[in-house]
Amino acid sequence: MSIDQFSMNVKENIRDKGKRDLLVPKGLLYKQPLVLVGRTDVATVTPWLAPIVWEGTFEPTLIDAIYKQQNLTIATTVFAVGKYVRFLKDFLETAEKHYFLGFRVHYYIFTDQPEAIPAVTLAPNRTLTPIKIPGSNRWQEITLRRMERLQEIIQSHLIFEADYIFSLDVDSKFHGPWGAESLGQLVGALHPGYFKANRQRFPYERRPQSQAYIPAGEGDYYYGGAVIGGYLEDVYRLAKTCKEQLDIDASKSIEAAWQEESHLNKYFLYNKPTKVLSPEYLWQNVHSKPEEVKIIRFTQVIKNNAAVRPNPIKSQIAKGY
Ligand SMILES: CC(=O)N[C@H]1[C@@H](OP(=O)(O)OP(=O)(O)OC[C@H]2O[C@@H](n3ccc(=O)[nH]c3=O)[C@H](O)[C@@H]2O)O[C@H](CO)[C@H](O)[C@@H]1O
Ligand SMILES: [Mn+2]
């Protein structure tokens, strides 16, 4: 399928469903939005005027009511290769308690062991499709290959089946509500290790030979590779671009500091996300919870990399925190 054909299919898909207007059910009651009252301890908007989503910046009753009317399907892709299948049970069980409750969610589990997917009871309107892929003896290969798989599945299936997509790390658990406030055209999440850091400290790729190179003095935020979301068309373009950049790097035998996460950061620098999720949506319990983080919605579980990765390397076991 050509890109033009693909874009047309996406547009048809959207037009047919008549979605994306923010229609509110008549008579819905919610707290008055006040122009002079809001979060003052954190930035709630980027310099390019994309919302940064924090507790207290949105009204869940209102947002959910708006988006429920759109009859959406949220595709959610998760990779569980090798020993990472052990994370699926908690991931799915906690997602069923907190993630897009009341919405149609379609999980796509990419794994080398479909038989090891645990039988978790899903709420009505929620389904799970296993997709068998080969294993690998390098964890870096598994994480970076996600971009290629994402591109393929969006193009071949998801544009016909879903309205939004999230790609999430499997070594994660939900602890608090994650709903329609996270939806947008192109969505990234702030990495919990760097939201207070000076941009000089961000672990961007710093070698000019890599396509993921970000020069000193540039960069907005450090985004985590564990959460990518948006419209299918936009995430398709992101995945396709990152995959191409990863291939160019591979042809020069260079691998960016944090694989596809480095390429994602490069992409978001020049193709800004339209919505940015605060670290509430990507937490790690190794950090003590600061005052600004009122609620933790999604965390990376503390894992013993040596025990779960096919090729643990000491220097890569901890990222600058
Ligand atoms: C919090 C966060 O933003 N994490 C990112 C970070 O390290 P992480 O330490 O979070 O990377 P990770 O080991 O969790 O790997 C990322 C994901 O790849 C999959 N996987 C990985 C290895 C394996 O053997 N089997 C398997 O299925 C699995 O879905 C996992 O969640 O950097 C990685 C790239 O270097 C990814 O960008 C991660 O998203
Ligand atoms: Mn992870």
Residues with Cβ within 8 Å of 261's Cβ and at least 6 positions away in sequence, in order, are 143, 223, 224, 225
Distance between CA atoms of 171 and 272, rounded to whole angstroms?
26
pLDDT value of position 113: 98
- Residue 87: nearest ligand to its CA? 1
Ion ligand 2, residue ranges at CB < 5 A: 169, 171
Residues of the chain with pLDDT under 70: 1-18, 313-321
CA pair distance 149, 157, nearest whole angstrom: 12
**Residues pairing with 99 in the sheet:** 178
Q: Is the CB of 86 under 6 A from ligand 1?
A: no
Question: What is the complex's ipTM, to 2 decimals?
Answer: 0.98
Q: Is 173 in the pocket of ligand 1 (CB under 6 A)?
A: no
What's the 280 CA to ligand 1 centre distance in angstroms? 18
Report the residue among 143, 298, 317 best suited for mutation to probe ligand 1: largest number of ligand atoms under 8 A from its CB. Answer: 143
Give the 3-state secondary structure of residue 58: coil
The first and second tokens of residue 31, run together, are 């707290």
Ligand 1 neighbour 298 (Cβ under 6 A): no
The pLDDT value recorded for residue 15 is 46
Order of all β-strands in the sheet with 172-174? 172-174, 298-300, 283-284
Other CB atoms within 10 Å distance of the CB of residue 135: 12
Catalytic residues: 261
Q: Does the Cβ of 84 fall within 6 Å of ligand 1? A: yes
Per-residue pLDDT tens over the stretch 102-152:
999 999 999 999 999 999 999 999 999 999 999 999 999 999 899 999 999
Helix (H, G, I), strand (E, B) or coil at 156: helix
pLDDT, one tens digit per residue, over 268-306 is 999 999 999 999 999 998 878 899 999 999 999 998 899
Cβ atoms within 10 Å of 149's Cβ, excluding its own: 18
pLDDT for 195 equals 97
Question: Are the C-beta atoms of 175 and 94 separated by less than 8 Å?
Answer: yes
Q: Which of 299, 208, 204 is nearest to 261 (CA)?
A: 204
Q: Supply the Cα-derived Rg of the chain in whole angstroms.
A: 19
Host H or E run for residue 174: strand 172-174
Domains of the chain, start order: 45-307 (3.90.550.10)
pLDDT at 312: 85
Single-letter amino acid, residue 60: P
| Residues that constitute the known binding site for UDP-N-acetyl-alpha-D-galactosamine | 79-81, 84, 169-171
Q: How many Å separate Cα 231 from the centre of its chain? A: 12
Contact 45, 132 (CB under 8 A): no
Residue 311 CA: which ligand is closest?
Answer: 1
Ligand 1 contact, 82 CB (< 6 A): yes
The DSSP H or E segment spanning 245 is helix 232-251
